[in-house]
Amino acid sequence: MKPIEIILCDDHPLIAEGLLSFVEQQPLMEIKATAASGTELMEVLKTVSADILLLDINLPDESGLDLCLKIKKEYPDMKILALSNLNQRSVILRMLHHGASGYLLKSAPTKEIEQAIYQIHEGGVYFGKETQRILSSFTDKELNEVPSVTRREKEVLAYLAEGLTTPEIAKKMYISALTVDSHRKSLMKKFDSNKTVNLIQRAKEAGII
């Protein structure tokens, strides 16, 4: 029987090494390639094919949420198992909407990881027990409530989360302070927030930053 071919994308060395070691011990699984960032992953996918992608949600250069959507458009046959420390409703919803076949917490036991890989490979979907509990109450309305943001707005959000002021953000983005304020106001409206701290929290809950 042909081994299940896997690509692993995770920027945390301990997690990556643990998963790599685990998969290498499975006679019916094979790691084809690894990546530690979104940019590196997209380069790998140009030359390496696999059955399943184990994808970290929080990568240093790009959100796993955005990557999932991009990869499913370019490589529709690629099955994606999201790996995350977050078990938030909005994040799980967006991964589902973007085409993920499963969602697993990094704290899951190896037996569950093994089960998830086999189930997804067979064409099924897999979610951990806690995730299943949250999924049971999902509605289409909730999915549509996750706001979409532009690339520029996402940059502003990231800088706001770092604690930068409007002039500092303007300098980094090479735009005027007025434009930064315009982006901030737009974001406040989209996330129904009247304070920056609330805006950042809601954006994190939605998996955008």
Co-location of 89 and 178 in the same domain: no
Task: Provide the number of structural domains found in the chain.
Answer: 2
61 φ, ψ to 5°?
A: -115, -15
Co-location of 18 and 81 in the same domain: yes
Question: Can you give the residue range of the structural domain that contains 108?
Answer: 4-141
Domain-ending residue, one of 124, 141, 158: 141
Q: Is the pTM of this model over 0.75?
A: no
Model pLDDT, residue 136: 66
Co-location of 136 and 154 in the same domain: no
Co-location of 45 and 101 in the same domain: yes
Q: What is the mean pLDDT of the chain?
A: 87
Which among 127, 53, 60, 144 is positioned nearest to 92, based on CA atoms? 127
User: What are 36-76's pLDDT values in tens digits?
Assistant: 999 999 999 999 999 999 999 989 888 888 899 999 999 99
3-class DSSP assignment, residue 81: strand
Whichever domain contains 92, its CATH number is 3.40.50.2300
Co-location of 124 and 152 in the same domain: no
Co-location of 111 and 137 in the same domain: yes
Co-location of 117 and 201 in the same domain: no
Point out the residues of the chain with pLDDT beneath 70: 134-148, 205-209
Co-location of 33 and 135 in the same domain: yes
Model pLDDT, residue 174: 93
Report the distance separating Cα 104 and Cα 120, nearest Å. Answer: 12
Co-location of 91 and 155 in the same domain: no
Whichever domain contains 155, its CATH number is 1.10.10.10
Domain-ending residue, one of 123, 141, 159: 141
Co-location of 156 and 115 in the same domain: no
Model pLDDT, residue 145: 57
Co-location of 157 and 126 in the same domain: no
Helices 64-74 and 38-47, axial angle in degrees (round to 10): 20
Domain-ending residue, one of 126, 141, 156: 141
